[in-house]
Structure 1
Amino acid sequence: MKHAFLIIAHHEFNILSILVDLLDDPRNDIFIHIDKKVGSLPTIECKHSRLKFISDQNRIDVRWGDITQIEAEFALFELAKQNGPYQYYHMISGVHLPLVNQDEFHSFFNSFPKSQVFSPMPSDPNELERKGNKMNFGMKTFSKSRFSQILWRLGIKVQEILDLKINKDRTFIKASNWVSISEDAVDYLLNKKKEILNRYKLSMCGDELFVPTELTYANKNWNLMYSERLLLHHVGDANSTVITSEDLNLIDNSNFLFGRKFSSSDMDVVHHIQQKVKSNL
């Protein structure tokens, strides 16, 4: 069964074009969401994979930390599901690049049929409580507005003093939002879409919580596994930092499946990965 790659992109379209080229394989279909804030859409084509974009009317104005991140993921799940079924649905960003060829990539996932594969992220109970069980106001403008950040801190402080909780039935689980999940898991999330969007509408970075948490609480016979191999990324204060040519030794001597994030500011590492992946075909 084929794999679906679901890509959330908003810039660095030259990196996106290289990503699609490295995923272009008869065993894959590719689905792309371009942020609604983008006016001029990139021209990208495939030779072997089906390639589909989220339509203009369904594109989301995605904001950091906001429920719109989850809405964009659901838009991709829905579009891919209409064209499936697929063995796996891989949620990735437009600044990911595969670090192995598709033979090796498919071999890895064929070893774990119907598993839900997550890239682990550090967390603590206080963080999870704050992000999932408090009302996080001002997320739409949080990353750009000092006022929204102050408002958010005051709101959290008041809720902590009053011991207010909005999702008392959940102990939240965190992982990278760049996940690889099965057809059954996607079906479950889509069936629960309305409930999930309501539960996470006031969360902070709920995209890192909703898939592992909701699949855990589903109590299905799924294998939820966490693999360091899924993604090479350098986590900074809030976001992944750019992978550069200084990481070439790590890339060449590790077995990561994907790396994130790449930038046109350092194309040497990008071209190195292109050559490495293509030479192993």
Structure 2
Amino acid sequence: MKHAYLIIAHREFALLQCLVKTLDDERNDIFIHFDKKVLDIPQLTVKKAGLFLTKERIDVRWGDISVVEAEYALFAEAVNQGSYHYYHLLSGVDMPLKGQDEIHRFFDAYQGKEFIGFSQYDYTKEIERKVRRYHLFPKYFKQQAGISGLFKKTMRFLFICLQDLLGYKRYKKMDFKKGTQWVSVTHGFLQYLLLKKAAVMLIYQHTFCSDEIYKQTLCWHSAFREHIYDLENEGIGCMRKIGWTDGQLSDWTEDNYEELIQSTALFARKFNSKHIEVVHKIINGLK
């Protein structure tokens, strides 16, 4: 059965073409969401895979629910095209660490499993801050410059302080779960996500980094929880190797090549065109 690769892209288009090249297989269709702020869409080429751009383009802002909206645009585009064995959500700066034959064999062997990573540390305070508080101006979490930016930042801070002072919490009875945004899921779970879209948009408006929360929370409180591949290791759970260093996401470099190719993960993130040599070495080693 065919796989769908769902890619969120907004920059680093040389890397994106490398990613598309690794996915160019007759057993795959590739779906790409380009941020609405991208004015010049790159010309990407494939020989074997189907390549589709989402008709809906979202103005994606870091930390905002617009990230979730972009994911849903990809989900809808893929489902409208057909039914796939697995749907792999990637960023445009990710790269597979295994060849397509190995990736397809793996998912055939574990058919029906959901590859969703769940964080293992105590993230109670994160949940309190990110979803149980009401965030003003969520599209402007990173806007710092100018009087307008300073005003929004100040008002958001003061409103959070007021909620803390009053002991205000949203969704007190909801048990939120958290993990990496990037997943590989079945057609059944993707349909479930689409079914829950209206509820997701309602609950996660005016929250922070909901893309790391809503999929895990929906899965946990559904029958799909029984099909999670690994609940004890976030990276293994989603079969992704992510370059965290002291809590910060860092780019892979050529120095990490052996670590990457020896990993059991199927995908890795994130890469940077400044270190594109490691990408070329990975691609040349794929079978």
1:12-65 deviations in Å (ceiling 9; x for gaps): 00100010010111111110000000000010121111110012xx10000000
- Alpha carbons of 1:44 and 1:176: their partners in 2 closer, same or farther (altered >3 Å)? same
Once residues 122 and 284 of structure 2 are traced to their aligned partners in structure 1, the CA distance between those partners, rounded to angstroms, is: 36
Equivalent residue number for residue 8 of structure 1: 8
1:117-161 deviations in Å (ceiling 9; x for gaps): 123445511111221211122221111326344433332222122
Does residue 195 in structure 1 map to residue 195 in structure 2?
no
Q: How does 1:232-243 map to 2 (within 5 A)?
A: 232-235=241-244, 240-243=249-252
Does residue 64 in structure 1 map to residue 71 in structure 2?
no
Equivalent residue number for residue 268 of structure 1: 277
Equivalent residue number for residue 23 of structure 1: 23
Once residues 17 and 175 of structure 2 are traced to their aligned partners in structure 1, the CA distance between those partners, rounded to angstroms, is: 39
Equivalent residues of 1:118, 1:225 under 8 A apart: yes
- Alpha carbons of 1:62 and 1:166: their partners in 2 closer, same or farther (altered >3 Å)? same
Give the alignment partner of residue 88 of structure 2, picking from 87, 90, 98.
Answer: 90
1:167-199 deviations in Å (ceiling 9; x for gaps): 233111111110111111111111111111111
Give the alignment partner of residue 248 of structure 1, picking from 235, 241, 257.
Answer: 257
Give the alignment partner of residue 235 of structure 2, picking from 228, 239, 245.
Answer: 228
1:227-262 deviations in Å (ceiling 9; x for gaps): 524111123577622111121121132222111111
Once residues 23 and 245 of structure 1 are traced to their aligned partners in structure 2, the CA distance between those partners, rounded to angstroms, is: 22
Q: How many residue pairs align between the two structures?
A: 276
Q: Report the alpha carbon displacement of residue 222 of structure 1 after superposing the two structures with TM.
A: 4.3
TM-score between the two structures when normalised by the length of structure 1: 0.92
Any unmatched runs of 5+ in structure 2?
none
1:83-116 deviations in Å (ceiling 9; x for gaps): 1201111111000000110111112222222221
Equivalent residues of 2:114, 2:224 under 8 A apart: no
Identity %: 37
What code does the residue aligned with 1:125 have?
T
Equivalent residue number for residue 109 of structure 2: 111
Equivalent residues of 1:244, 1:269 under 8 A apart: yes
Equivalent residues of 2:118, 2:177 under 8 A apart: no
Q: Report the alpha carbon displacement of residue 221 of structure 1 after superposing the two structures with TM.
A: 6.6
SS, match of residue 179 in structure 2:
coil
- Alpha carbons of 1:184 and 1:97: their partners in 2 closer, same or farther (altered >3 Å)? same
- Alpha carbons of 1:219 and 1:255: their partners in 2 closer, same or farther (altered >3 Å)? closer
Structure 1 residue ranges (4+ consecutive) displaced by more than 6 angstroms after TM superposition: none
SS, match of residue 51 in structure 2:
strand
Q: How does 1:151-166 map to 2 (within 5 A)?
A: 151-166=155-170
Any unmatched runs of 5+ in structure 1?
none
Once residues 224 and 214 of structure 2 are traced to their aligned partners in structure 1, the CA distance between those partners, rounded to angstroms, is: 16
Once residues 192 and 272 of structure 2 are traced to their aligned partners in structure 1, the CA distance between those partners, rounded to angstroms, is: 35
Task: Choose 185-194 or 118-127, whichever is displaced more.
Answer: 118-127
